[in-house]
Amino acid sequence: MAQPRWTLLINGFDYARASTPPAAVDWQAIWSSTDAIIGCAASWSSVVAWTHRSFFAHGYICLCRGGGDDNGRDGKDREPATETPLPDALRQERVCQAVILEPLHPELVALRTAAGNLWLLDAVRLFAGDDGDCTVRLVSVSPAVSVDCIAATYSRLFAVAATENADSSQRRCRLFSATIDDASRETDQQPSPPSSSSSSSSSSTSPLWTPTWNEADLPHGVSSVAQLSCGSSHALLLSRNPAQVYSMGNGLEGQLGHGRMQSLSDGFALVEALDGLPALSVACGGSHSAVLVDGGILYTFGSNASGQLQPFDPKAAPLDTAIPSAVSFETGEGDGDFVSCSLGCDRTAAATLHHVSVWGGKKQKAGAPPS
């Protein structure tokens, strides 16, 4: 009997083969492994994934390793994807979640493990064969806390952690944030892969970025956090018992869902339009948001500049909205049938039991990914 293989598929812009403007691609297999692929994460120019013993990267991180001109279009042949052994410390703890710290540190990946620890990994140095504290390092968030989830905007890294009392009978949920700062990088442009010489020289001398953590207030009455998701400059928080949705950050395109095009910088506020709807999951795109509620209904709000809020309606005006609206197809399929959702910078992917549909990004596609 043939050994089963796990395959990682992407749908979006292929930075490793980018043209000007980037060319859109349909479902594309970028990694296949005989080990189970435990998880994956994507930024707007890279994809990373991992098994219990291997780490994989695709896109910008590989271009950094390969050198070339600013956009990686010098005509040289490169591998579009790279695989390397997972560092021993991470292999022992089992990685559960990853966040790429792009654009300020596109080479860095924050990793949460099953042990409740937070690690920082320099993927470019890892693939260059470097080791030690300059490549992977355990990060202390606060004494005696266990990290439950992580998320990042373009400029802030968030960590939801819990503190247990002496007899472990009660857990106190806490929210921490750290400003991602790097004055040497431009935040408004796509990062450029450095030359191979500059990359190798900096690998041996530059220390890993060290977060400075500040504790933030959780919304009033929230004692447990089920999920935290971040876009380019906004965040959604899903609480437990009851399951309610809160948002904060940039809301000028309606991505906070508070019914007005306004930002909120002094803490998370309840999305009142969804109050009373038992939310199952939340997701943030660049400037839009989605909430999946019990019953398989998907709500979207925020920027609709690329048609990322509602699928398959070419006549609809691309209007932004701050009011959550249920996603529906003209055929009626999908209404009450959604089981999961994920957002890219300007596109939305949602799955029913039978299909995966992707819309936005100036393109709209439907159907199951290739088998």
Question: How far apart, in Å, are the Cα atoms of 266 and each of 205, 217, 306?
Answer: 38, 9, 29
Q: What pLDDT score was predicted for residue 369?
A: 46
Closest CA to 311 of 293, 338, 284, 286: 338
Residue 265: exposure state from Cβ atoms within 10 A (0-12, 13-18, ≥19): exposed
SS in 3 state form for 175-243? EEEEECCCCCCCCCCCCCCCCHHHHHHHHHHCCCCCCCEEEECCCCCCCCEEEEEECCCEEEEEECCCC
Question: How close are the terminal C-alpha atoms of the chain, in Å?
Answer: 19
Distance CA 125, CA 203 (A): 6
Cβ atoms of 306 and 267 closer than 8 Å: no
For the record, the structure tokens of 80 come out as 């579009």
pLDDT digits (tens, 9 = 90+) for 222-261: 989 999 999 999 999 999 988 999 999 999 999 999 999 9
Residue 189 has what pLDDT?
38
How crowded is residue 37: how many other Cβ atoms within 10 Å of its Cβ?
A: 18
pLDDT recorded at residue 69: 38
pLDDT tens digits along 270-301: 999 999 999 999 999 999 999 999 999 999 99
Q: What H or E segment, with its residue span, contains residue 249?
A: strand 245-249
Determine the average pLDDT of the residues in 101-106: 89
Residue 170 clears pLDDT 50, i.e. is over it = yes
Section 364-369 average pLDDT: 47
Residue 175's pLDDT is: 94
CA distances from 43 to 102, 141, 200, 238, 361 (A): 7, 23, 23, 22, 15
Instruction: Say which DSSP state 256 is in.
Output: T
**H-run or E-run covering 26:** strand 24-33
Closest CA to 299 of 291, 309, 308: 291
Cβ burial of 4 (10 Å; 0-12, 13-18, 19+) is exposed
How does pLDDT run across 32-91, given as a tens digit for each residue?
888 899 999 988 788 899 999 999 998 888 776 544 333 333 334 444 568 899 998 899
Q: Report residue 168 CA to chain centroid gap.
A: 31
- The three-state secondary structure class of 365 is strand
> Coil, strand or helix: which one is 273?
helix
pLDDT for position 81:
60
Q: What are the phi and psi torsion angles at 34 (to 5°)?
A: -80, -15
Strongest mean pLDDT among 22-26, 99-103, 139-143, 287-291 = 287-291
- The label of the residue with tokens 């920082």 reads 120
Tell me which of 76 and 102 has the higher pLDDT. Answer: 102
CA distance 59 to 50: 15
pLDDT at 190 over 70: no
Per-residue pLDDT at 116: 92
**In this predicted structure, what is the pLDDT of residue 9?**
76
Band of pLDDT at residue 314, cut at 50, 70 and 90: low
Per-residue confidence (pLDDT) for residue 71, from 0 to 100 = 38
Six token digits for residue 79: 């591998």
Task: List the single range of 96-110, 175-189, 245-259, 276-290 with lowest mean pLDDT.
Answer: 175-189
Tell me which of 291 and 167 has the higher pLDDT.
Answer: 291
Is residue 204 scored above 90 in pLDDT?
no
* Mean confidence (pLDDT) of the chain: 80
Among 39-43, 117-121, 189-193, 201-205, which range has the highest average pLDDT?
Answer: 117-121
How would you classify residue 313: left for phi > 0, otherwise alpha for psi between -120 and 50, otherwise beta?
A: beta
